[in-house]
Amino acid sequence: MGETSGYQLGVIGALALSVASSVAIVICNKALMSNLGFPFATTLTSWHLMVTFCTLHVAQRFNVFETKSIEMKTVVFFGILNGVSIGLLNLSLGFNSIGFYQMTKLAIIPFTVLLETVFLKKQFSQKIKLSLFVLLLGVGIASITDLQLNFVGSVLSLLAIATTCVGQILTNTIQKRLNVTSTQLLYHSAPFQAAILFVSGPVVDQCLTKQNVFAHKYTPVVLAFIILSCLISVSVNFSTFLVIGKTSPVTYQVLGHLKTCLVLGFGYTLLHDPFTERNILGILVAIFGMGLYSYFCTHENKKKQNSDLLISSQIKERETTPLLVHQDKDNHEVKKSNGIINKDSVV
């Protein structure tokens, strides 16, 4: 029972850390890009991952965590896949309207459910699917304003959805099947993610912004916000792997939409972004959907735990019963050899 409560506290802590760090980095990056004119998102992400790896390397040197060897082919593929997915999401935002980009992000949940159902044989109840539908409907109402389609943007969005879903499923699968922690997996994969984005980032940013990241004027204020963004990103990257490993890719996406609602709220209260009745309605519907998802997941997990306890108790009974019968038989033989068998016991 103590292990279960400890695990639940760990999950709650991971979720809280993910929400807090993600909202913080969104606000920081919005100030950096919108107010200070630094639009190089992909290159900035590569710096995030470099700082994350360096931080984890220092932590490993001080024995904060132990490294565990992972097959190089797995780590390289996983790292490159995650790096490519980040680049494709940024390209999707650049080649599509904001509304279509939000649709792309919303499509990640149903696509993840489809992949896990088909390839991992995972079952999602009708109640879970209903709660996800309510959640996506609310986020769509709150965030989607326009839908402008184009061929290149649509292809980029499809590729972004596919790589993001597969990357997040692998984040969960690798941790469980290879018995590695989120920190160990992030430590091994971060250099490859950073490398692919460090090479492709300036090209992607040049394509999207028509500006050169190396020719940008780096004032002390811009540098300060870049450093702050990189420091926050350590917590973001760590909590991302932690949440996916402790829960599931779908739960992580649900959490991501909670962050979207919080960012919209903070944008209105702190940055005075425009806010309409539609935004309020969408956020309320999304929060209701999240509440349903949380309730149904908790209910189903408790049901599964009770079922597992019942099965384990039945197995223990089966293991102990033959032993007792065997012991009774041995005692019976001993008594018989000593000639003290009760007549009533003879058949």
For residues 109-136, give the mean pLDDT: 94
For residues 231-237, give the mean pLDDT: 96
Burial tier of 289 (Cβ tally within 10 Å: 0-12, 13-18, 19+): buried
- pLDDT at position 319, please? 61
Distance set, CA 102 to CA 22, 69, 121 (Å): 17, 38, 28
- pLDDT at position 320, please? 57
Distance CA 117, CA 121 (A): 5
- pLDDT at position 101, please? 87
Q: Which of 168-182, 254-268, 278-292 has the lowest mean pLDDT?
A: 254-268
Distance CA 175, CA 70 (A): 10
User: Which pair of structure tokens corresponds to residue 118?
Assistant: 């088909």
Q: Is residue 266 part of a domain?
A: yes
Q: Is the pLDDT of residue 114 over 50?
A: yes
Between 158 and 320, where is the model more confident?
158
Distance CA 245, CA 196 (A): 23
Beta strands in 196-311 (DSSP E): none
Domain that holds residue 137: 1-289
Q: Is residue 151 part of a domain?
A: yes
- pLDDT at position 328, please? 55
Distance CA 41, CA 61 (A): 30
Encode pLDDT of 183-225 as tens digits: 999 999 999 999 999 999 999 999 999 999 999 999 999 999 9
What are the backbone angles phi and psi of residue 132, rounded to the nearest 5°? -65, -40
Q: Is the pLDDT of residue 85 over 90?
A: yes
Side chain identity at 102, as an amino acid letter?
A: Q
Q: Is the pLDDT of residue 270 over 80?
A: no
Q: Which residues of 202-214 are buried (b: 16+ CB within 10 A; e: fewer)?
A: bebbbebbeeebe
Q: Is residue 342 part of a domain?
A: no
Give me the percent of the chain exceeding a pLDDT of 70: 85
Q: Are 96 and 161 in contact (CB under 8 A)?
A: no
Q: Is residue 320 part of a domain?
A: no
Side chain identity at 217, as an amino acid letter?
A: K
Please count the structural domains in the chain. 1
Encode pLDDT of 25-43 as tens digits: 988 998 999 889 999 999 9
- pLDDT at position 321, please? 55
Closest alpha carbon to 189 in 165, 159, 158, 168: 168
User: Which pair of structure tokens corresponds to residue 113?
Assistant: 């459910």
Distance CA 229, CA 223 (A): 10
Length of the chain: 347
Q: Is residue 330 part of a domain?
A: no
- pLDDT at position 346, please? 38
Q: Is residue 329 part of a domain?
A: no
Distance CA 274, CA 170 (A): 38
Q: Is residue 339 part of a domain?
A: no
Q: At 243, is the pLDDT very low, low, confident or very high (cuts 50, 70, 90)?
A: very high
Q: Is residue 335 part of a domain?
A: no
Q: Is 310 helix (H, G, I), strand (E, B) or coil?
A: helix
